[in-house]
Amino acid sequence: MNKLVPLIYNKLLNKYGSQGWWPVYSLRNTEGRDNRGYLIRSVSIDPGRDFAPGEFFKFEIAIGAVLTQNTAWTNVEKALSNLIDLNLMDTKIISDIDQKELANVIRPSGYYNQKAKKIKILTRFLLDGDYLKDGNIPHRTDFLNLWGIGEETADSILLYGYNFPVFVVDAYTKRIFTRIGILEGSENYEEISRIFTDNLEKDSVIFQEYHALIVRHAKEFCKKKALCERCVSKPFCLGTVN
Ligand code: SF4
């Protein structure tokens, strides 16, 4: 057991509070959501069981997971807003729409030609497998076999869309936990993911929150140039630089 993994989770949660992921843009300003679609929760060690986005919004989460590749969420919001305003957030419509037209609509997210192709392939897959139906969860390997869907995207859809307990790994996870000393830095995606799943309660809510907290921490303190002085991980971090 690596006791630092749950300890750092609690430290980050105490510091930042629940992050309210995954933001569902079309649910913004509805009960329990803020004006960007994030869940509103009180700050607590146990963030509660209210992460489940509902079956209807799985599709939006899947689309968002593709749109967010290599771009900031603010750009994703613009692309989602276009899709919603034009009444295109529908599996059948996305499946039928001309790829170039779709690319134009999601242009604010960058890499829009590639992303339009990915979204159409992903949508076809979800439709063919009836994977938006309650309880019908796609296999991770089936996601990975789709063009343009890598591990981070597949796991984001599974974790936030389906509440399936996989741990999402990104460059921030690598950076923070290598600096702290939990990772050596040479581990692959699966090895990193296992360090979290092996040392935490197997609970999708905790995995959802932890990943969101890692992103927050990487943006606020453990940046490229780390701000260690007031970091909550400083007492156990081997990479402290000041
Ligand atoms: S102490 Fe510094 S290097 Fe370590 S986690 Fe905090 S910000 Fe990152």
Domains of the chain with bracketed CATH: 4-20+167-236 (1.10.1670.10), 55-162 (1.10.340.30)
Q: In the predicted model, is pLDDT for residue 37 greater than 80? A: yes
Gap between the Cα atoms of 144 and 14, Å rounded? 35
Gap between the Cα atoms of 143 and 157, Å rounded? 9
For ligand 1, whether the C-beta of 163 sits within 6 Å is no
170 φ/ψ angles, rounded to the nearest 5 degrees: -135, -175
Render pLDDT for 192-209 as a digit per residue (tens, 0 to 9).
999 999 999 999 999 999
For ligand 1, whether the C-beta of 213 sits within 6 Å is no
Cβ proximity of 192 and 174 under 8 Å = yes
For ligand 1, whether the C-beta of 228 sits within 6 Å is yes
Instruction: Provide the CA 119 distance to its chain's centre, in angstroms.
Output: 16
Render pLDDT for 164-178 as a digit per residue (tens, 0 to 9).
999 999 999 999 999
Q: What is the pTM of this model?
A: 0.93
For ligand 1, whether the C-beta of 63 sits within 6 Å is no
Q: In the predicted model, is pLDDT for residue 242 greater than 70? A: no
CA 222 / ligand 1 centre spacing (Å): 5
- Provide the pLDDT confidence category of residue 152 given band limits of 50, 70 and 90: very high
Q: Euclidean distance between the first and final Cα of the chain, in Å? A: 29
39 φ/ψ angles, rounded to the nearest 5 degrees: -70, 140
Render pLDDT for 85-123 as a digit per residue (tens, 0 to 9).
999 999 999 999 999 999 999 999 999 999 999 999 999
For ligand 1, whether the C-beta of 182 sits within 6 Å is no
| Ligand 1 atom showing the smallest separation from residue 179 Cα | 3
Gap between the Cα atoms of 164 and 157, Å rounded? 9
